Each structure stands twice: as C-alpha cells, then as structure tokens.
Amino acid sequence: MAELLFWPALLAYGEAAVAYLGETRSPGLPGRLATWGVRIGWLLQTALLVLQATRANGFPWSSWAGSLNLFVWLVVSAYLIWGCRDRYRLLGLAVTPLAVALLAVARAGGGTEVGARSDYSTLFLVLHVGLVLAAFAGFTLAAGLAAVYLFQERRLKRHDAGIFRLPAPSLATLDRLAGRTIVISFPALTLGIAVGLVRLREKGGGVDVLMVVTLATWLAYGAYVALRVTRGWQGRRAAYFALASFLLVVIVRLALPATHFA
Amino acid sequence: MKLSLVGISHRHAPVKVRERVAFAPRDAAELARSLAEVGECVCLSTCNRTELYIVGDQGEVRALDALRSHGGDDVAALTYRLADHAATLHLFRVAAGLDSLVPGEGEILGQVRAAYESGAPGPLLSRLFHDALHAGKRARSQTTIGESPASVPSAGAALAQQIFGELEGRRVVVVGAGKVGEVAARNLAARGAEIAAVANRSAEHAEELAQKFGARAVSLESLADELGHADVVVACTSAPGFVVRPDDVRERKARPLFLIDLAVPRDLDPAINDLDDCYLYDIDDLEAVVAESLAGRRREAERAEAIVSEEAERFRAWQASLDVVPTIASLRARAEAIRAAELGKAAGRLTDEERQAVESITAQILNKLLHLPTVRMKEAAAAADGVLYADAVRHLFGLEDER
C-alpha cells in the first residue's frame, strides 16, 4: 500500500518540477499543471504519512530517513499555504525539485516504509523532532524566497527586458515573507532544541556534532531575527544572511545524520 | 434574425476619416436608438473604431446609410461589413483586445460594456454583448495578454510595483516640469503613489506641475534632501548634463530607490545603478521592456484567439438553436392542447382528487416524451441540420399550418 502512495506522490512532485521548468519558457498551462502536481503529490504523501502513523509502533519518523520524509511534507505544506498562486511559481521551481530529491533519499533510507518502531517516547519525539523539522521546513521556504529575491533583484539591476515574462512577487513582498517565515519558525526551533536539552539533562548522554551545528543554526537565525527586528535589516543583505544560515540547515539535515540517529 | 455589422476602424481608415464618424457616448446612444426602431442596434464608438451592430430588416443598408450621412461617401468606401458568425467573432475579438493597436489593452472591454448599456439591444444583441464581455474577460484571465506594460510610462510604473509591491504611500519626486515627466508621474499616481515634490530650474513651472498633484515645488539645489525621503524619482529635464549624481543619493539603509530617467541627454548618472538598493532605468531600458512586453502580448494573443473562437462558436450554436424554437413551441402547444382536450372529456367522470392525479401524470408523460426530441432538435440546430429536423417534426405532427 505504501508503494502505491509513494510512487504516485514522487511522480506528481516530479511532474510539478518539470512543469515549473516549462512555465519559465511558456507561462500559463505548465504553471497550472505544476500547481495540480504539487497538490496531488501533497495529498498522496499525506495519505502515506497517515498510513505510516497508523501502522507504527511509536513515533513513525524517528529515523533519519523517516524524518526526511516528514520534512519534505512540511516544506511542501508550507509552500502550499500561498505558493500555488501565479506569482509564486518561481518558488515552486526551487521547492519541487528539492521535494523530489529528498523524498527519493528518504525512500532509499527506508523512511517511507510502514511499521516503523521507536525506542523513544512518542511525546518527546513529537515535540523535539516535530518542532525542529517544522522550523527547518520554514527556514527552507525562507531560503527559497531569499533565492527568488536575489534572482529578481539581479534581473532588475541588470535591466532584464523580459522581467514581466515570468510573473513574480515584488522585492518588498519576497523580503517581507522571507523575514516573517523565519521570525515564525525561530520560536519552533528554540522550543524543539529546549525539549532536546531537557531530555539530555534528564537521561544523560554526550553532546554530538549535530547538536553543536544545530545550536549554531539557532544562533544564526537568532541573529537574523534580532538584526531584522532591532536594526531593520532587509533587502539583499537579509537575503544573503538567510541563505548562509540555511547552509547550516542543510548540514544538519543531510551531512550529519549518523551522529544523531545512530 | 440576421445580425449585421458595419464599421470603420484604425485597420482600414486613417484618423481624418474616422473622426467624421466618431460619436460622443450620447450621440452613439441616440444613433443606436434611431436605428433600432425596427430591430436592435448597438453603436460602439471609440477613438480607434466606430461599429454598428444591428439586427432587423435591411440592417446593413440602414447602418451604412447612417455612417454615410455622417461621414460622407469616402467613409462608406472604407467600411467593413460582416454578418452573423463573422460579426460575432469580430466583436468577441474586439472585446478581448485582439483587434486593438496594442494587443490586450484593457480599456476596450469597458467601452464595449458602455456601448451595450447605452445602446438599444434586444434578445439577440443582449446575448451577443453579454457573451462578448465574457469572452473578453476570459481571454484576459486565462492568458497574460493584458498583464505586461505596453508604454514607457506604464513600464516605469510596473517596474516600481515590481520593487515595492503596492505603491500606496510611496513618495515620488519629479525632476523637471515637462509633459513627459508629468505623464510618467500621473501613471504612478494612478497606482496609488504620492507625488511628493517637483524640482525644476524654473520655480514657476515647478509650482504649476506641483499644484496638479498637490505636491511641493522645490529647487534643483535642494534635490539631494528630497531624494533622502523619496522612493521613486522621475527625471525628464532639458539639462545638458547629469542633474543627479551618485553623491546626491545618500545612505539608504536598505530602502530601495527606483529612478526613471526619461531625458535625452540623460539627467541621472548611470553610476547610480551601481549603488546598493538603487535601480536606475533610462529611456532605452524602458523601451526594451516595452518591446519585450509587446512581443509577449503577441505570443499570448494566439492563445486568446483560441478562447475567443471557442466562445464565438458557442454563441453560434445558441443562435442556431433559435431556428428550431418556434417548432418546439408549436409541438409543445399541440401536445398540451390534446392533453387539455382529453382531460376535459374525462372531467365529469373523475373526482377532484382523481382529476389532480391524472393531470399530474399526463403532464409528466408529456414532458418526458417531448424532452428528448427537444434536446435533439437543439443539437441538430447547432450542427446546422436544425431546419431539416424542424421540417420533419412539423410534417410528422401536422404543424405546418402553425408556421
């Protein structure tokens, strides 16, 4: 059953990624096909997660690959909130290929299978993994917005005559949304890390590299929020900062799984 | 009912001919009413076209006479005359902006609506114009034909929106008090921007333009101070050198500044574009944006043509179905008369309750029996076989006398 949900979901996200690419050449129908691809893929992945949740013994996404599966779903969910509007199709070009790649990696690691077992308490994992992943999903989306901002800003600076060929949100909107997404995601990361630290203190155990990089991520986004709120940071500088901070998220999600999930 | 169109437009007639038959809205309405005395008529008169849509006997001749009486014989020689489906398709293309100088321009849809509302439409023209407005809206909503800017001032305003989003509350400083700058400023003001100041060498001219926008007139010497608070700068003076240099643009603290230089020679030093958060577009940059937009509109026009054709075909099917309506009405009337007569014969033998039950049952039988022939006749009418079907039905049910 999981196979019947996974492959169509992957196919739908893949179709959306290709259609978003087509949208850059001929706006219109490809964009609408992409939107439906994302919606259908998200529904299928939601069904897969529900299936995993009902058949699991404990929290179903406690493995690295499982958490990646949940992470993809959270990123696409955040994108779906407003990303399916015409003007945000450029963002889809960043989100859907990422969703395809990460979902494929999640499957290769066994993260899309049913019947997962977990030795940790469900409440701890829901709070710790759920909150950290939700925050990371927000940061991913903010990075996508920042990338689109820099792309659009560059086109404006270079006087690209075809700037209106592919509709995109204004620079002000992209900047505001990226900032808000990070400001909203940051408390989730703070809470998720706090839950992890409380458990570490109660149960004992050493600090691993992943924890250190996660704390560095927290510091980076904390600095972003502080600079934005107190110094009014915005525009290109803020976009570069959001992208640089996102590199830490990539390291935490992809480069250091073994240290924490082993 | 034959639909005729007689018109003259920018495609075939120069302005010196068109202007003779360009009607003010009230005169266009008056003309439509006078031509509709024996039918229906709507007069669409804009700066690019004057078209008379008319239904009724000798409609084309009467419309042509009307145009000739206003514009003379050479107007008549430059008119186009279309009928039925060709006229329908033409109006739908006009409403979608496909027959406009700038493909997809938005003003024409409002002009078509105004002509319809002030004209003298009957059943056919009401449906025609209603469907034309629908086709025009569909073409715009399902393609991007009307989205990109089609003129230098609108390109400037659209680029400002690409940077700031909504322009409400954005402060604009106009440098120079000429006509070109005024048009660009007006475009920005129409989208909600606030024209804050007008700077010009001549204080008198600056004051004159500033008053039009409720702005302040300032001297060129105090321009640097104004730039500190500005979001958009529109420059178009006749100065021989640069009026604004990078040094005049102070620290922006990541607040974007959009500068539009419409002057030749240029007023704004191009080095300003190298400053962080400053976006400077000169006349060549803006014209390149417009050229690309127009090319994009022409590409989208192909998709809009398909939408318009589909809508025109739908109207044709509806119009064709009108041919069989009298036959359907006669058939139903004959069936109803037979039912009423038979019920009348049985009335004395039935109680009130039984009579109501029989009336209800026979009405249902009649409706179900006639439903399929009615649908089939309308379908056949749309496929151009309607007259054959209608004749067959008239013959089979003996309706010839009711024609």
* 8 Å CB contact between B265 and B284: no
Q: Which residues of A touch B303 (CB under 8 A)?
A: 28
Q: What share of chain A is helix, strand, coil (3-state, %, to 5)?
A: 80, 0, 20
Query: How many angstroms separate the first and last alpha carbons of chain B?
Result: 16
Tell me whether residues A27 and B144 touch, CB distance under 8 A: yes
pTM above 0.90? no
pLDDT band, residue B384 (cuts 50/70/90): low
pLDDT digits (tens, 9 = 90+) for B182-197: 999 999 999 999 999 9
Q: Which residues contact B120 (CB under 8 A, 6 or more apart)?
A: B32, B33, B35, B36, B40, B41, B42
Single-letter amino acid, residue B60: E
Give the residue on B whose Cα is nearest the Cα of A172: B164
Q: Are strands B216-218 and B194-199 parallel, antiparallel or unpaired?
A: parallel
Residue that the structure tokens 């024209």 belong to: B195
pLDDT digits (tens, 9 = 90+) for B63-107: 999 999 988 888 888 999 999 999 999 999 999 999 998 888 888
Q: How far apart are CA A252 and CA B121, in angstroms?
A: 70
Q: Does B285 touch chain A (CB under 8 A)?
A: yes
Q: CA dihedral in degrees (B320, B324, B329, B335; nearest 10)?
A: -140
pLDDT tops 80 at residue B352: yes
Q: How far apart are CA B194 and CA B213, in angstroms?
A: 8
pLDDT tops 60 at residue B141: yes
DSSP conformational letter for A41: H
User: Which of residues 85 through 124 in chain B touch A, CB cutoff 8 A?
Assistant: none
- Would you state the pLDDT for residue B393? 83
Give the residue on A whose Cα is nearest the Cα of B291: A161
B217 vs B346: which has the higher pLDDT: B217
What is the percentage of chain B residues whose pLDDT exceeds 70? 98
Tell me whether residues B159 and A236 touch, CB distance under 8 A: no
Residue B6 backbone phi and psi in degrees, to 5: -125, 125
Residue B260 backbone phi and psi in degrees, to 5: -115, 115
Beta bridge partners of B45: B50
- Would you state the pLDDT for residue B185? 92
Collect the ranges in chain A with pLDDT lower than 70: 116-122, 255-262
Q: Which residues contact B390 (CB under 8 A, 6 or more apart)?
A: B323, B324, B326, B327, B377, B381
pLDDT digits (tens, 9 = 90+) for B254-311: 789 999 999 999 999 999 999 989 999 999 999 999 999 999 888 889 989 999 999 9
Q: Which residues of B touch A161 (CB under 8 A)?
A: 285, 288-289, 291-292
pLDDT digits (tens, 9 = 90+) for B1-35: 789 999 999 988 998 889 989 999 999 999 999 99
Structure tokens, B155? 């390109």
Query: How many angstroms separate the first and last alpha carbons of chain A?
Result: 28
- Would you state the pLDDT for residue A120? 63
Give whole-number Cα distances, B219 to A15, B175, B205, B225, B238, in Å: 59, 10, 11, 11, 15
Q: Highest mean pLDDT range out of A149-158, B99-108, B149-158, B216-225?
A: A149-158
B88 vs B329: which has the higher pLDDT: B88
- Would you state the pLDDT for residue A30? 86
B347 vs B285: which has the higher pLDDT: B285
Of the candidates A125, A22, A135, which has an alpha carbon nearest to the alpha carbon of residue A74?
Answer: A135
Of the candidates A196, A181, A90, which has an alpha carbon nearest to the alpha carbon of residue A140?
Answer: A181
Q: Does B251 touch chain A (CB under 8 A)?
A: no
Q: Highest mean pLDDT range out of A73-82, B362-371, B391-400?
A: B362-371
B43 is catalytic: no
Q: How far apart are CA A94 and CA A185, in angstroms?
A: 19
Q: For residue A65, how far is the Cα from the chain centroid?
A: 15
